[in-house]
Structure 1
């Protein structure tokens, strides 16, 4: 505990001491005046009586309590005026992490994508200060959510994506095996296809010429979604979900190796999430291990970590591990605040006043 105005106590105590000295001086002068006055006879016997001694003792005790109460009240009042306080140094960090969720929205990944968007809703609710963005890609990439700290907006868009992946699942379950849609299912199919077109129109743009699942371009676009790449001091993270089943019909602008190299050069860390072997789409057309190893090599070249979604490793555990590993860049800000501590002198003041008043009332009787 410190005093903001220490001089108040020093000068106050000097003033109190001077006042008490003055009182003693006045009392001494008064005593001398009474000593030369007319004296009563036979007071010695009265002073030796039990009742007199009892009253005198009581008077002395009450007088001491009264004086102590007055002095205690004055001193505690001086401490209150001097304003006792303590200093609190508050260290607050300004989070400076940018996270882009990069999702391969091929219909082969609807289960994994649904799981990650559903879990991320809870993660986003707990964010404070981080910015988050969402890119979805297939043939081309759509910046579905630009980097923002408007978490309500992010949650709304995650809800929309969850609905999109649920529609993909419905499409695959009902119509995935049909070459031609039967007439009795045509109306229902057209309604579902119309809903899916809202999302697919951007990600499948020009797919007849370029192909699909252009993973390198998806990662590259996510990288260049970060503003001021060469200048910013923010920690940059891409969480990418894909099965790496490249189906390019012409050369990509940037393949996955080039995209990963560009991420490493710009200090952007990529964390990859890959489906399990059981959930891998078209194993007759694509080699599971080749797709996995290529994606893993690209991810780890950026300093990130590669995960395979299995029964033993759910998306929730993967995302928790990513959060735990990624050290956030924090700008530490120290602010000092002064907290008043009037409680102890105030309580002492109340007690001293109560004692002094009580002693004074008893002495009056």
Structure 2
């Protein structure tokens, strides 16, 4: 802790000493002017009653002086503006990461594991903004891009629990993802496009990534074709990383080719290196810094204790001063 305005605290103490010295000198002058000579006063001052009264008076003066110190010292402390100082590097990570999960029927038994993988990936980040979109025949934003990591981890856990059993604990991951007017289900291109358009601040050159959990089993025809959806992500500069429950087959090969076209990669869900691989890949995305910034020294005022002691001192002084004047 440091005193920002230490000189002001010194001035307060000097003012207190000056006031006390002036009051003492004026009181002494008044006593000198009012002296009345009297004989045989020694007999009175030797009386036990007189000595007890004098001792009591001196004790009251001592207490009053101590209480005044409890007023002026915290007042000087508070006036000095106590604060904690620390150096801040004005650097921020501005990567945006959208988690995109296919919650169609073919994915039901593996989605919980993918959500757990999402949670493991998030643990490797600090400062990035994370969002989550769930989709089947239509997409639902579970939560938009945010750097509130407590919310992110809680939501991922709740949605993962929602896959444990129908009607069980946790959030329902399929709520709102079924469109009765749609001509198909598992519309992966539409889901990916929704994730792409979930990125805000599109005019900024921000590193962006999409982590797509899907088996790439499209059932029906949506608004976007796979080529259009992946091109939209590529045009925005968003790399697509996929986690596929399958590790072979035509759908898997098409997913591998499409993600690599954006600069991303596809990992089988069974790949133990998937989480580390995705985290490392995204970490390699350039984390932009604020341009032309210098370290800043910040102060946080800490007035609690001096103000508290000042209030306590005043509460103790006022009744004592009132009693003294009586």
Name the CA distance, whole Å, in 2 between partners of 1:194 and 1:96: 37
Is 1:247 aligned to 2:219, yes or no?
Answer: yes
Which residue is equivalent to 1:93?
91
Residue in structure 2 matched with residue 211 of structure 1 by the alignment: 184
For residue 119 of structure 1, report the CA deviation from its aligned partner: 3.8
| Counterparts of 1:210 and 1:328, CA distance in 2 | 41
Question: 1:221-300 counterparts in 2 under 5 A?
Answer: 221-229=194-202, 231-248=203-220, 251-277=221-247, 289-300=249-260
Residues 95 and 331 in structure 1, CA contact (< 8 A), matched pair in contact too = no
Q: How many angstroms apart in 1 are the aligned matches of 2:113 and 2:143?
A: 18
- Three-state SS of the structure 1 residue aligned to 2:205 is coil
Return the offset for 1:234.
Answer: 1.5
Provide closer, same or farther for how the CA distance between residues 302 and 162 of structure 1 changes in structure 2, counting only shifts above 3 A.
Answer: same
Cα shift readout 1:228-273 (whole Å, capped 9, x = no counterpart)? 32x112211101111110101xx31112110111111111111112
- 1:210–1:322 Cα change, 3 Å: farther
State the distance in 1 between where 2:87 and 2:131 align.
Answer: 34
Which moves more between the two structures, 95-104 or 296-305? 296-305
1:244, 1:292 within 8 Å by CA — same for their partners in 2? yes
SS of the equivalent of 1:103 reads strand
Q: State whether residues 216 and 255 of structure 2, in contact with CA within 8 Å, keep that contact through their aligned partners in structure 1.
A: yes
Structure 1, 324-333 or 135-144: larger mean CA deviation: 324-333
Q: Is the 8 A contact 2:119 2:153 kept in 1?
A: yes
- Could you tell me how far apart the structure 2 residues matched to 1:126 and 1:313 are? 15
The answer to whether the Cα contact below 8 Å between 2:161 and 2:169 also exists between their aligned partners in 1 is no
Indicate the residue corresponding to 2:279 in structure 1. Answer: 320
Q: SS at the partner of 1:200? A: coil
Q: For 1:197 and 1:337, locate their aligned partners in 2 and report how far apart those are by CA, in whole Å.
A: 44
Shift of 1:307: 1.8
TM-score by length of 1: 0.52
Partner deviation per Cα, 1:72-113 (whole Å, 9 max, x = no partner): xxxxxxxxxxxxxxxx99755210011000011123334543
Where do residues 293-312 of structure 1 align in structure 2 (5 Å cutoff)? 293-310=253-270, 312=271
- Larger relative helix fraction: 1
**Deviation of the 1:321 alpha carbon:** 3.5
Secondary structure of 2:294 counterpart: strand
2:290 is matched with which residue: 331, 337, 342? 331
1:65 corresponds to:
none
Residues paired across the two proteins, number: 212
CA separation in 2, counterparts of 1:158 and 1:146?
Answer: 13
Q: How far apart are 1:141 and its partner, in Å?
A: 0.5
Higher relative contact order structure (alpha carbons within 8 Å, sequence separation ≥ 6): 1
User: Considering only aligned residues, what root-mean-square deviation do their CA atoms show, in Å?
Assistant: 2.9
Larger radius of gyration between Structure 1 and Structure 2:
1
Gaps of 5+ in 1: 1-87, 168-191, 278-287, 339-365
1:344 matched residue in structure 2: none
Conservation of the 8 A alpha-carbon contact between 1:115 and 1:315:
no
Partner of 2:174: 200
Q: Is the 8 A contact 2:102 2:186 kept in 1?
A: yes
The 1:325–1:201 alpha-carbon spacing in structure 2 relative to 1, beyond 3 Å, is same
Change (3 A) 1:215 1:335: same
Where do 1:36-51 residues align within 5 Å?
A: none
SS in 2 for 1:146: strand
Q: Residue 124 of structure 1 aligns to a residue in which SS?
A: helix
